Structure formats: C-alpha cells, structure tokens
Amino acid sequence: MKRDGFNVSLWQGRPAFIPKNTTLPAGKQDVVIVGGGITGITTALQLQKAGKKCTLIEAQEIGFGTTGGTTAHLNTMMDTPYYEIRQKFNSEAADKIARLSESAITLIRSNVKEYGIDCSLSTKPGYLCAKDDKQADLLDKILQSCQEVHLPATCATSVPTPTPYIKAMQIQEQAQFHPLDYILALAQHFEAIGGHIIHDCRMTGFSEEDKLLTIQTSKGDVKADALIYATHIPPGVNMLHFLCAPYRTYAIAVKLKGDNYPDALIYDLDDPYHYFRTQEVDGERYLIAGGEDHKTGHEENTHERFKCLEAYVRKYYDVDHVAYQWSSQYYEPADGLPYIGHLPGNPDNVYVATGFGGNGMIYGTASAVILTALITKGESEYGTLLSPDRVKPMASMGNVMKEGATVTKDMITGWLSIPKLEEAAGLAKGEAKVVKYEGKTVALYKDNNGALHAVNPACPHIKCSVGWNNAEKSWDCPCHGSRFSYTGELLTGPSSSDLEKIDLREE
C-alpha cells in the first residue's frame, strides 16, 4: 500500500484496496465523503447503513494518509487530560469525552464482531509513568481526573517496562489493532452494501445552488445533498487551519533479542514523550516505540529524531534490529478538543472532522457517529461541544496564519540552468536545500542517482516557504502542514495543488 511518506510503516505490507468502480456515479448522492482514512471510511459505512446513498472519494488510495502511518492505540485516556478539559470547558465536557472515547472503542469492537474482521484487535491495560516528582504531581492530577469521569484508573504498583519510573497509574479497557486491516475490511463492507469508493479522485472544489452541492473532482463532477471533509485537515483556506497546528511524530518497530515484549500500552510524561506497545503482524512480534514530536517544518534534520528514538529504546530494551521506521503528521487543536460538525464559512450541509491530535483512531471513529447523527437527525449529543463553530473568526486571522514563516511570492518563469544551480547549491546526493539563485528562491533536491529536482518553495496554500524533511523526502510547509514529494506532487493538504515545478536544462 502507498503512504504519504518515503518510509514504510509496519502496516503497509498489504495489497492495495481495489474499488469496484473507477468512475463517479452518475446520479445524485445523499452524501459525498472526501478522504479514505479511518474517519472517512467509518463515516461512509455508518451513513450507508443508516440508509444514505454515499460515495467516498480518495485522492490516492485507501489508507494513504495518516491512518497508514499511525501507531493504533485505542485509548480512553486522551492526550488532552480530563482535568484540562474540565478547566477549558467544564466537568460535563470532560465526562462527555470519556463516554465518547468509550463508545468509539465499543463501535470498533462491534464492527470487528459484526463483519468478522481479522485485525488483531485486543484489549490491553494502559500505564502512564512518572520518573520525577514534578511528573508525579502531573500524574496524580491525570489519575484523579480519570477517576472523576468514571474511567477504570488506579495507582499502579508495578509496570511491565524496563524504563525508569517512580510512580505510575494503570487504566483498564484500552485496546490496540492493525489499522489498515481494520479500514480495508470496512471499505469492503461499505461497497458490499451499495457504497461507492473512487480512488485517484481529488476533490478540487464545490458550488451550491438551492442546497444542492456540485462537487468538482479530478474525475468530473458529482452532485450531493451533503459533503464531508474527512481529509484530516480540510483543503482551502479556513479558520480551522489557524486552530489546528500540524506536528510530525516518529515511530519505530523493532525486533528484540529476548522475549521482553510488554503486554500493555505504556506512556511516559517526558517532553517530547515516548510510548511503547507490542504488535504481532503476520506471525512476527514487534515492539512499537514512538514520540519525538515537533511542529511540522520546524526541524532541519528529521533523521536525527529517528536516531534519538532508537537510542532511547536501545537504552532499555535488548534490541536485535529496527525492522520499520516511519513518521507521520497529526493536527493539534487549539483548545484540546477536535472540530467535528459544520465547516465554518460554508453552506450548512458541508461538514468536517479534524484536530484529532494523537487520538484520531478514537475521534475519527467518533466522528462517524456524530456526523451520521447530524446528517440523519439534525443533531448529536456531542454537537455543541465539538462543533467547529464554537470558535469565532478573528479579524487578525490572516496575519496570524503566516506568522513566523517565510512567505515566498516569486513566480518562476522560463527554465534554469542545471550547472549553475549545481554550483550555487553544492548538494551531495540525497541532499536538499532552498537556495537563492539569480534573485529567485528555488527548492532543490539531488536524488541518489545525482539528478536535480527543482520546485518553487512557495506553498500554493498561502505562499509560506516549505522546508525539507530529510527522513520522508518531502517538502513540508511549516504554516499549515501541506506536504509535497521532492518532485512537487501534493501529498497532504490543505494545499489543493502541487508545488510549481521548475524546468531545468543543461544550458
């Protein structure tokens, strides 16, 4: 399977999904869902089961986005602690998020059972560990707030981990699974009950007349009564791009020399944090470790993050070899809760699900329930709490969106000389750089065969200048997380188009 990165994740060794259809359906659809990750597929299936006629369009293939690069813990202990939700919202909100996370795991369990999905779903205890007094104070607050929302959390007397800790908590009823085995099966069942999936179909825009939407795509137009952006972040320019900060995070799957694989989900409270779990794939056991997060486009040497993660794991575990390493992107919401519901600034029948942080398996699944309720009943019990309309646009938004980033406006016309660029950049094979050349700014990558690839570094979204991600061999935008291959092909929105390619000639 393909993914939006150069590195191969633990999950990708599956044959790509082959949809039954290659062209858009001719008739009007009840709902068009854009995006074939866990959010889009779960939502499409829920809506189709509720009697709606649905089409899911995916720019690449099912699982191409972050769902193909996740680490697939299913948690009720969320990244935004319950005490923080209570402070920023109220106690009722904290309680609702706890119930929502439980119901998402229940929905995954019931899908697995109903469709007989073989995705190694298993229930595990989760442990959160503190290694000094300051972390222990934080742990106490997290534990107490989990108990206040009636989650099965207690103080732990021992943790199945060789990593150091002075205090820990345990939470029952967490889970894990193989995310692609799960969504591939859901996609199959969606088609089996009449849903359409179209691959290689990028949505490029829409128009509305009398509540009927005409959705434009790279494979033509399709009409629908409702549209859902399950694209991880919506395309175009929207206030949600200001409210969701893109982060890159790293994972490795290692084989151990002995048998010391933990049978639990284990997290620390370091900054950046680390986590561990065990996963069996095709009869082989792996220790998955993750962390080392940073804001997208704000790290010059992303390879280094893998090295730090590996060094941390090797310090405590007897590692035989690193079998997989990959990184991927998530979006951190400004107030700690996701944005699920009507997309601000758009007609009432346009919806979005974004800002999941590191809990997108849960919030993506919960989005399916919330959006199905909003579309079929006009309301959801979580509607107000998670509505993207809860935040009002600010007059200064446009400026803040570009803050701290270099903005590039040059158009690059004509062709550029390879020998002169070679001289200006001085790149070794496998290296990339943004260079100034004859008054123009050029993003250059020299591949392992010595060929130069040049693109205009101005991200088409709002013209921030992209930076090189050497681990995933992509140009990443530090403003809103759009990502492009070294040839400029769009990998991840919110940009809707490729980086401008520059014609290079030997003189």
Ligand X SMILES: Cc1cc2nc3c(=O)[nH]c(=O)nc-3n(C[C@H](O)[C@H](O)[C@H](O)COP(=O)(O)OP(=O)(O)OC[C@H]3O[C@@H](n4cnc5c(N)ncnc54)[C@H](O)[C@@H]3O)c2cc1C
Residues in contact with ligand X by CB under 6 A are 34-40, 57-60, 64-67, 69-73, 202-203, 230-232, 235, 249, 251, 290, 328-330, 356, 358-362, 364, 493
Identify the bridge partners of residue 128 per DSSP, sorted by sequence position.
169, 267
Give the β-pairing of 153-155 and 167-176. Answer: antiparallel
Residue 88's SS3 state is helix
**Smallest distance from the beta carbon of 424 to ligand X, in angstroms?**
34
Let me know: does 199 contact 60? Beta carbons within 8 Å: yes
Assess whether the previous peptide bond of 272 is cis (omega < 30° from 0). yes
Q: Which one, 421 or 491, has the nearer CB to ligand X?
A: 491
To which H or E segment does residue 287 belong? strand 284-295
Residue 78's SS3 state is coil
**Smallest distance from the beta carbon of 315 to ligand X, in angstroms?**
21
Q: Which one, 86 or 232, has the nearer CB to ligand X?
A: 232
Residue 165's SS3 state is coil
**Smallest distance from the beta carbon of 180 to ligand X, in angstroms?**
10
Write the CB contacts of 438 (distance below 8 Å, at least 6 apart in sequence). 416, 420
CB atoms within 10 A of CB 179: 26
To which H or E segment does residue 291 belong? strand 284-295
Q: Which one, 363 or 454, has the nearer CB to ligand X?
A: 363
**Smallest distance from the beta carbon of 176 to ligand X, in angstroms?**
8
CA–CA separation, 355 and 344 (whole Å)? 14
**Smallest distance from the beta carbon of 332 to ligand X, in angstroms?**
11
Which residue is listed with tokens 């369009």?
A: 57
Q: Which one, 58 or 84, has the nearer CB to ligand X?
A: 58
Q: Is 429 exposed, middle or buried (0-12, 13-18, 19+ CB in 10 A)?
A: exposed
Pick from 334, 338, 322, 330: which is nearest to 272 by CA? 330
Pick from 60, 36, 18, 24: which is nearest to 489 by CA? 60
Q: Which one, 57 or 343, has the nearer CB to ligand X?
A: 57
Let me know: does 353 contact 365? Beta carbons within 8 Å: no
CB atoms within 10 A of CB 61: 18
Could you tell me the sign of the dihedral formed by the alpha carbons of 69, 75, 79, 85, in that order?
Answer: positive
Q: Which one, 361 or 421, has the nearer CB to ligand X?
A: 361
Q: Which one, 41 or 169, has the nearer CB to ligand X?
A: 41
Which residue is listed with tokens 């290694």?
A: 131
CA–CA separation, 55 and 34 (whole Å)? 8
Give the β-pairing of 432-437 and 54-57. Answer: unpaired
Q: Which one, 111 or 249, has the nearer CB to ligand X?
A: 249
**Smallest distance from the beta carbon of 84 to ligand X, in angstroms?**
17
Q: Which one, 245 or 444, has the nearer CB to ligand X?
A: 245
Let me know: does 340 contact 389? Beta carbons within 8 Å: no
Could you tell me the sign of the dihedral formed by the alpha carbons of 358, 364, 369, 373, in that order?
Answer: positive
**Smallest distance from the beta carbon of 427 to ligand X, in angstroms?**
29
**Smallest distance from the beta carbon of 273 to ligand X, in angstroms?**
12
**Smallest distance from the beta carbon of 223 to ligand X, in angstroms?**
17
**Smallest distance from the beta carbon of 431 to ligand X, in angstroms?**
25
**Smallest distance from the beta carbon of 393 to ligand X, in angstroms?**
23
Q: Which one, 19 or 412, has the nearer CB to ligand X?
A: 19
Minimal CB distance residue for ligand X: 360
Q: Which one, 43 or 425, has the nearer CB to ligand X?
A: 43
Q: Which one, 353 or 434, has the nearer CB to ligand X?
A: 353
Let me know: does 141 contact 128? Beta carbons within 8 Å: no
Let me know: does 37 contact 67? Beta carbons within 8 Å: yes
**Smallest distance from the beta carbon of 491 to ligand X, in angstroms?**
8
